[in-house]
Structure 1
């Protein structure tokens, strides 16, 4: 039976068709080819890092180049270099036990890891380079080709990346598609061999629904309301500083940013005061401070402000870390960190991922009560625990589920290049980084090779079946 492919009616479809044809023509993808592609991506980033950081700064309306260099460029380089240096350890066939008793006659088995083909990668605006090139490291390590779709909310970065990629790669190997929501929707509907998406849970559902049309496997990194559990044994000043640092990164516009902090009711005031002090130390001024990343656009700024205003109108206590909001700061979309204490469960800020310069603080009487509330909600991309009580720490790890965990710190586990990064449930599925990323974008192909002699006929294992064979099978049915 033969099937005809639909005509390439869009630029994305044409790129996909060209890459799939090149993939089929290439045959096995050697370790040297994979390493060369990774090295070119590394060289591309090194050569274009300043242009990319400038573009990211312009897209945000003033994000510090040093943050973009650290988060997007250095973070991506770490993923690419780790994959380059370790893929030869991941590629070899894995011998597996063969089928008994045929293994006695020379039958063998192994698993062969082969590239899936062409992978589509949809990035997001908050880390517009990292969310494309960090998964690309795993995609290239597994021997695939790729097409990137940057976020339309960061259009200057998208264009800068497209220019950089075109300089270092043929479009049949790696390409960039730019455009708005219509282009993104078309991108998600294509028959990729695998599709990666980073973004919100709501959009992730639409991506998965579109991918289902062609049974495209997906890797989804979706975020969520990542909680911080502050145990009573925690050093409050240290916890506050690390939470403030993590929340200050990109002004909370990170998928693993701390969202809701749980603290014992007797330590709440101390934690609030320490957060205010720590945040003010990091950002002594807000308006005009280049270290304070603006909220990316007016729409997202208004969204975060509405969350805070709604909570205050419903009776929640709203405190500030950082200097008083000013008209100048608002015009720049730079605002201090607002700490919203015990907002009602039905408030906007309690129900939605904040993704901006605001933080929910909730109090508990027993940490088990906090964990019970967490477990009643959606599983987050990240969970954070502070404390020196090893028994409590283990209990928290055993009784919660999240994409990843940082202990006595926040937002650090995604920097582990040799450990999987991914979500669970509403925060996503699948992984990239390290060996697990290589496996994510490889097809694990089981192979059985028969031995030189087949004993089934002489043992009565082939039709017509005998009573003797039936008794032999029955004898193998044991507990």
Structure 2
């Protein structure tokens, strides 16, 4: 189907989904459970096909990492949502001031309507199905625009969802930039976008024309701050896991590390040693993922060479040559210049700059001088020190003494702040994103508020006297 045909289909199905929502504004608890169970069942049924599609799109994509970060993640998220949905759907009573009694005040969580979801290429299944799960739990209809960089996964997701959902409930729209641009102009009741900050700004601008509420899950340069009391070799173990999973193509991957004076080399060498143990022959190892496209591959290599030419030391894992695969050796760059692309752009690849700081105040100052990151990682044996860093910085999320694990806690809202995005989802936060908090006050037939209506007199003075 051509992009023009997809755009026409998009308009038709948006109207169909709006009509379907109007006919069923408050989808029942049982029906929502069926939707959640359908997402879980589809994930389990097509697990091998999901791994195949990811591998085809990336050239080399670790089947184990696809199992962990996409399939197992979605199974856990669906189970969590199913367990808590009933309590999320209940109205929440709130207190009322004495001068408004008798009466009852409460909050109803009502589905917003038709939700638009724009998903990225780096975790193409999970970052599409996770917000779909939240929107369905909220009682919404869903339209998905997946990334054009992962066409095999896009086609698979479309066929999977068609097995369980009519298109007036869930519909998928593969296609290029013109389809994506048209998608952002639809007057959705909510739009969730995951991707780059640059495109996020364009999405927000297009959505603003319709006053469409937007959740932006963007990226940025997520820093690591290592305190003087934390062993360098221990830091390297978890940095290697967080940085080189999916070849660094993760929005919350550590983007650069700030170490105490004199410890940068130790951290760099321990990181490389750990990654060499994880991927003894990264070039041929099917568990070490390739870079998604030629353009991105060339960009990452150019960033390494720029830093090398500027005098930075480049350490790379041993492991042969990748042949025709778009693989880049796990890389650590010691002390790249502040004006280098490695330190100015989000890297989104298997390259970790390691620099030195002059103490925690200096480290926090350098982090705070940049845009607010999506994640921040602090390493210290002291809880007091770690909390000092958390209090002295701002980020979308944070982890102490490890990386990325906060993403897998469904009860934690996941989202950015400032240039790394706004709004959140996962767990109840996702349910809240796709519902409207409708405040309701129920008064009896006769309510004393009549005493403060005109004509104003002694009863008014008595009722409003403080």
After TM superposition, the score normalised by the length of structure 2 is: 0.95
Q: Secondary structure at the match of 1:370?
A: helix
Query: Matched residue pairs, number?
Result: 461
The equivalent of 1:390 in structure 2 is 383
Residue pair 2:333, 2:352 contacting (<8 A) in 1 also: yes
Residue pair 2:100, 2:449 contacting (<8 A) in 1 also: no
The equivalent of 2:367 in structure 1 is 374
Which one of the candidate residues 439, 455, 458 is aligned to 1:464? 455
The equivalent of 1:87 in structure 2 is 85
Q: Secondary structure at the match of 1:10?
A: helix
- Structure 1 vs Structure 2 CA RMSD: 1.7
Residue pair 1:76, 1:129 contacting (<8 A) in 2 also: no
The equivalent of 2:176 in structure 1 is 180
The equivalent of 2:338 in structure 1 is 345
Which one of the candidate residues 37, 44, 47 is aligned to 2:45? 47
Counterpart CA distance in 2 for 1:275 and 1:108 is 58
Residue pair 1:283, 1:322 contacting (<8 A) in 2 also: no
Residue pair 2:375, 2:395 contacting (<8 A) in 1 also: yes
The equivalent of 1:76 in structure 2 is 74
Q: Secondary structure at the match of 1:28?
A: coil
**1:467 Cα deviation from its structure 2 partner:** 7.5
**1:408 Cα deviation from its structure 2 partner:** 1.0
Counterpart CA distance in 2 for 1:265 and 1:217 is 45
**1:9 Cα deviation from its structure 2 partner:** 6.5
Which one of the candidate residues 180, 190, 195 is aligned to 1:194? 190
User: Which runs of structure 2 are paired with 1:43-442 in the superposition (5 Å)?
Assistant: 43-103=41-101, 106-323=102-319, 326=321, 329=322, 331-442=324-435
**1:470 Cα deviation from its structure 2 partner:** 5.8
The equivalent of 2:3 in structure 1 is none
Tell me which moved more, 70-79 or 180-189: 70-79
The equivalent of 1:451 in structure 2 is 444
Tell me which moved more, 134-143 or 374-383: 134-143
Q: Secondary structure at the match of 1:417?
A: coil
Q: Deviations over 1:422-469 (max 9, x none)?
A: 111111111111112111111000111122323355x4x222334784
Residue pair 1:73, 1:130 contacting (<8 A) in 2 also: yes
**1:96 Cα deviation from its structure 2 partner:** 1.6
Counterpart CA distance in 2 for 1:448 and 1:10 is 43
Question: Judging changes above 3 Å, is the alpha-carbon distance between structure 1 residues 455 and 341 closer, same or farther for their aligned structure 2 residues?
Answer: same
Counterpart CA distance in 1 for 2:289 and 2:372 is 28
Q: Deviations over 1:15-51 (max 9, x none)?
A: 2111111011013211111111010111111111111
Counterpart CA distance in 2 for 1:360 and 1:415 is 25
Counterpart CA distance in 1 for 2:25 and 2:357 is 59
**1:235 Cα deviation from its structure 2 partner:** 2.5
Gap regions ≥5 residues in structure 2 = 1-5
Residue pair 2:237, 2:271 contacting (<8 A) in 1 also: yes
Counterpart CA distance in 2 for 1:228 and 1:284 is 25
Tell me which moved more, 170-179 or 463-472: 463-472
Q: Deviations over 1:365-415 (max 9, x none)?
A: 211101111011111111111110121111011111111111111111101
Counterpart CA distance in 1 for 2:19 and 2:313 is 60
Counterpart CA distance in 2 for 1:165 and 1:319 is 44
Counterpart CA distance in 1 for 2:462 and 2:335 is 68
Counterpart CA distance in 2 for 1:216 and 1:111 is 22
Q: Secondary structure at the match of 1:346?
A: coil
Counterpart CA distance in 2 for 1:425 and 1:373 is 17
Counterpart CA distance in 2 for 1:389 and 1:341 is 26
After TM superposition, the score normalised by the length of structure 1 is: 0.93
Gap regions ≥5 residues in structure 1 = 1-7
**1:100 Cα deviation from its structure 2 partner:** 3.5
**1:14 Cα deviation from its structure 2 partner:** 1.5
Counterpart CA distance in 2 for 1:447 and 1:50 is 48
Residue pair 1:422, 1:430 contacting (<8 A) in 2 also: yes
Counterpart CA distance in 1 for 2:42 and 2:144 is 15
**1:286 Cα deviation from its structure 2 partner:** 2.3
Counterpart CA distance in 1 for 2:226 and 2:23 is 55
